[in-house]
Amino acid sequence: MGTALFYHLTRRPLEQTLAMLLGKALGAQMRVVVRGPDLGRMGWLDEQLWHGAEDGFLPHGMAGGAHDALQPVLLTTGPDAPNGAGCLMTVDGAAVDAADVADMDRVCVLFDGNDPSALEVARDQWKALKAAGASAQYWSEESGRWEMKAQT
C-alpha cells in the first residue's frame, strides 16, 4: 500500500510544481500517470511540459496513443494506468480513492490553494482517504519551501 501526498500549491503554478514532482519521480525510476478531469486542460499541461526548462526534459505523452505502455509519464483523464505506473498524480480535483493509494506506491494530489473550490475538493479527498485508513501526508509551500504539515 502506498501513501497519498497532498500538495497545497500557494506560490508556484501547477505546471511548475508538476514538472518538479515528475522529475523527482523519474529520477527515482518510477513511471507516472497524471490524471485530470478535463481533456483540454491535460492537453495544455502536455504543452507546458514540452516547453519546460531546457535542462529538465520530461519524456511524456497523452493517453490514447499507440505507445501508451511505453510512456514514462502518461497524461490521462481515465482511471487506468496503461504504462504500468507506480505513481499517480492528480490535478484539478481529479478523482482519487483508497483503491488508488493501495494500488500505487505513491499518489500525489496537487491542488490550488488560492481556489476555494479546489481546497474543498482536496479536504473531502483527505477526509475520505483518512476514513478508509489510507496513509496520507499534507505538504504546504506556504513558507517558501515544501514542508509536511500533517500526516495520517
- Among 134, 75, 82, 136, residue whose Cα is nearest residue 108: 136
Please give the order of strands across the beta sheet that includes 87-90: 61-62, 73-76, 32-35, 87-90, 106-112, 3-9, 135-140, 147-151
The 10s digit of each residue's pLDDT in 117-128 is 999 999 999 999
Range of the domain at 122: 3-143
Position 149 in a domain: no
Q: What is the pLDDT of residue 145?
A: 92
Q: In angstroms, how far is CA 92 from the centroid of its own chain?
A: 9
- DSSP 8-state secondary structure symbol assigned to residue 5: E
Position 55 in a domain: yes
Average pLDDT, the chain: 94
- Residue 85: give its domain's CATH number: 3.40.50.10110
Position 94 in a domain: yes
**Domain count for the chain:** 1
User: How many of the other CB atoms lie within 10 Å of CB of 15?
Assistant: 16
Position 129 in a domain: yes
What's the whole-model pTM score?
0.94
The 10s digit of each residue's pLDDT in 27-77 is 999 999 999 999 999 999 999 998 876 666 789 999 998 999 999 999 999
Position 152 in a domain: no
Q: What is the pLDDT of residue 1?
A: 78
The 10s digit of each residue's pLDDT in 110-152 is 999 999 999 999 999 999 999 999 999 999 998 889 999 999 9
- Among 8, 12, 22, 105, residue whose Cα is nearest residue 60: 22
Position 92 in a domain: yes
